[in-house]
């Protein structure tokens, strides 16, 4: 039976003829079938994946050299466009929408010979932290099936966690890769804003959205990032900076400078066991010869409100296109005029959380409230950016929890959206500032569930972030 550990080990097996891509795809299709109740996938491309596997097997037999992601079985979050495949953002409003082009990330992955096995369930339009806001129903956490997997990229996280693919892509606007990675006990990276093209990513809040990666180890993430990062003529916000080889081996025993914010570790929302595990890690890092010092983050309690004002404002504008004319679901009710047509399409097509955000976003942008909310939140964002930049003048990384608690029971917070919003307190800083951040599966709680540690680095410092992550995971 095939058992996956890393891309490199898998390639060694393929090249030694010990396994074929077809066998591997069959293995994953069986696993997806056996774990169907987890609800991680929206669509599974079984026939296509097998066909691609046969093509790759033939190429290898003919002696063609393999590309860096040859035969790697990948799943996409249902917000990433793949030509001629369904793209629904887990929303009724896009129920029957098929993409007419592929996202830049998808093209880059295919050039390196991946096998795309399906698209994954998520919160509708990537809005949420539990995956309970999906048109397709919730995803179950494979570590405890009565618990949420986190969100919004819950399906992508569970697909990796439960061994239903090797690598998956998600999107992270305020924590949607790192928090489900934390809840599922896997690695989740949100790269620098602008490191990866957003062309073909369904827009939620365009100045925050980043495509992110899930894997079981850091080296796999580094390999995939090296492929999907970089300039793109279809996204003017993407950086022109050269893409480094993110797999480069770190200088062994390199010593780093870490900062941590007292306010995060002492925050009343933080589970005390998570806090003490992080404090122990701080001691261990010090003991290993790293510099690790406390710093202050006086804006901690302002970042969630600022994030929700700005992202809902951007979302209300981005989602205006789903009106049943240009895009989206059309009502079957008979309507009298165009306004009623739009209203009915949108009322029937969007779920509750998306509607809540569109209304909030329209409110904070409305005349009379614009300065009090939108302008104010932008000012907070600027202060947070300046603060974090000042910290990175003296430190390489900022250490934080990823989430205030471990995964909780399905349904527990569904009626309290504000409580769910507040649980984004440790993840939104990286999105407000555009910094890269990673969640590393280092711990297990006494309740039996995994949780992670989050590290933030300065913009475009993915290489050192991945290198230190490898060190931390090796020593754990
Ligand atoms: N939980 C956050 C929200 O609901 C983050 C979402 C995301 O990163 N896509 O907005």
- The model's pLDDT over 215-271, given as tens digits with 9 standing for 90+, comes to 999 999 999 999 999 999 999 999 999 999 999 987 777 899 999 999 999 999 999
How many Å lie between the centroid of ligand 1 and the Cα of residue 156? 14
Stated pTM of the model: 0.97
pLDDT at residue 249, rounded to an integer:
82
Q: How far is the CA of 205 from the centre of ligand 1 (A)?
A: 10
**Which atom number of ligand 1 is nearest to the Cα of residue 179?**
1
- Tell me what pLDDT residue 181 has: 98
254 CA distance to ligand 1 middle (Å):
34
Q: Residue 85 pLDDT more than 80?
A: yes
Q: What is the whole-number distance in angstroms between the Cα of residue 148 and the centre of ligand 1? A: 15
Neighbouring residues of 372: CB distance < 8 A, sequence distance ≥ 6: none
Distance 319 CA to ligand 1 centre (A): 15
Q: At what angle do helices 218-228 and 7-15 cross, to 10 degrees?
A: 80
Q: Once rounded to an integer, what is the mean pLDDT over residues 2-25? A: 97
- For the chain, what percentages of helix, strand and coil (3-state, to nearest 5) are there? 40, 15, 40
- The reported pLDDT for the residue numbered 204 is 98
Of 152, 157, 188, which is best to mutate to test ligand 1, by the most ligand atoms within 8 angstroms of its C-beta?
152
Residue with the nearest Cα to atom 5 of ligand 1?
A: 174
* Known catalytic membership, residue 152: yes
Instruction: Give the model's pLDDT for residue 327.
Output: 80
The burial class, CB within 10 Å (0-12 / 13-18 / 19+), for 294 is: exposed
**Confidence band of 57 (pLDDT split at 50, 70, 90):** very high
Q: What was the pLDDT predicted at 73?
A: 98
Q: Is the pLDDT of residue 300 over 80?
A: yes
According to the model, what pLDDT value does residue 254 have?
A: 86
Residue 317 confidence (pLDDT): 97
21 pLDDT above the threshold of 90: yes
| CA of 424, closest atom in ligand 1 | 1
Residue 129 Cα: closest atom of ligand 1:
1
Share the mean pLDDT of the chain.
97
Q: Is the CB of 131 under 6 A from ligand 1?
A: no
- Lowest mean pLDDT, pick from 24-33, 250-259, 419-428: 250-259
Sort 191 into a burial class: Cβ within 10 Å, 0-12 / 13-18 / 19+: buried
C-alpha–C-alpha distance, residues 397 and 184, integer Å: 23
Look at residues 297, 333, 350 and name the one whose alpha carbon lies nearest to residue 95.
Answer: 350
Which pLDDT band, with edges at 50, 70 and 90, does 318 fall under? very high
- Stretch 40-56: mean pLDDT: 98
Instruction: Give pLDDT tens digits for 376-393.
Output: 999 999 999 999 999 999
Catalytic residue among 99, 102, 176, 277: 176
Helix (H) or strand (E) holding 226: helix 218-228
Does the pLDDT of residue 439 top 80, yes or no?
A: yes
Overall average pLDDT of the 395-407 stretch: 98
Q: Which of 91, 99, 152, 153 is catalytic?
A: 152
153 ligand 1 Cβ < 6 A: no
Distances (CA, A) of 465 to 249, 397, 436, 452: 12, 8, 8, 15
Mean per-residue pLDDT, 470-476: 86
Binding site membership of 431 for ligand 1 (Cβ less than 6 Å): no
Does 127 contact ligand 1 (Cβ within 6 A)? Answer: yes
Mean pLDDT of 42-47: 98
pLDDT of residue 3: 95
Q: How far is residue 220's CA from residue 469's CA, in Å, rounded to a whole number?
A: 12
């Amino acid at each position: 039976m095939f058992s996956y550990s890393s891309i490199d080990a898998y390639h060694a097996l393929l090249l030694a003829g010990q396994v074929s891509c077809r066998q591997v795809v069959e293995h994953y299709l069986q696993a997806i079938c056996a774990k169907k109740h987890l609800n991680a996938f929206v669509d599974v491309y079984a026939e296509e994946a097998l066909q691609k596997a046969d093509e790759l097997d033939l190429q290898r037999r003919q002696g063609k050299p393999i590309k860096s992601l040859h035969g790697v079985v990948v799943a996409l979050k249902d917000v990433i466009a793949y030509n001629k495949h369904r793209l629904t953002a887990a929303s009724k409003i896009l129920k029957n929408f098929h993409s007419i082009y592929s996202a830049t990330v998808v093209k880059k992955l295919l050039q390196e010979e991946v096998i795309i096995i399906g698209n994954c369930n998520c919160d509708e339009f990537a809005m949420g932290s539990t995956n309970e806001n999906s048109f397709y129903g919730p995803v179950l956490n494979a570590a405890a099936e009565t618990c949420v997997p986190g969100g919004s990229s819950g399906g992508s996280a569970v697909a990796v966690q439960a061994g239903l693919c090797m690598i998956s892509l998600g999107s992270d606007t305020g924590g949607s890769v790192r928090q489900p990675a934390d809840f599922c006990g896997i690695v989740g990276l949100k790269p620098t804003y602008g490191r990866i093209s957003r062309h073909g990513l369904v827009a939620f809040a365009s100045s925050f959205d980043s495509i992110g990666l899930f894997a079981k180890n850091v080296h796999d993430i580094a390999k995939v990032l090296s492929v999907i990062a970089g300039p793109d003529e279809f996204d003017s916000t993407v950086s022109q900076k050269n893409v480094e080889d993110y797999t480069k081996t770190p200088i062994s025993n390199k010593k780093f400078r870490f900062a941590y914010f007292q306010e995060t570790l002492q925050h009343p929302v933080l589970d005390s066991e998570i806090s003490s595990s992080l404090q122990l890690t701080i001691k261990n890092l010090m003991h290993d010869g790293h510099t690790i010092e406390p710093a202050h983050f006086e804006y901690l309690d302002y970042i969630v409100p600022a994030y929700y004002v700005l992202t809902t404002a951007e979302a209300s504008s981005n989602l205006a296109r789903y009106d049943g004319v240009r895009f989206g679901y059309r009502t079957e009710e008979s309507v009298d005029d165009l306004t009623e047509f739009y209203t009915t399409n949108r009322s029937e097509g969007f779920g509750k959380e998306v509607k809540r955000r569109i209304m909030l976003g329209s409110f904070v942008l409305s005349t009379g409230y614009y300065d009090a909310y939108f302008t104010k939140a932008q000012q907070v964002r600027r202060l947070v950016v300046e603060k974090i930049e000042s910290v990175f003048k003296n430190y390489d990384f900022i250490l934080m929890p990823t989430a205030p608690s471990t995964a909780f029971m399905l349904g527990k917070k569904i009626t309290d959206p504000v409580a769910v919003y507040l649980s984004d307190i440790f993840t939104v800083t990286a999105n407000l500032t555009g910094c890269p951040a990673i969640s590393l599966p280092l711990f297990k709680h006494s309740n039996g569930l995994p949780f992670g540690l989050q590290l933030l680095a300065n913009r475009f410092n993915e290489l050192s972030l991945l290198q230190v992550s490898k060190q931390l995971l090796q020593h754990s």
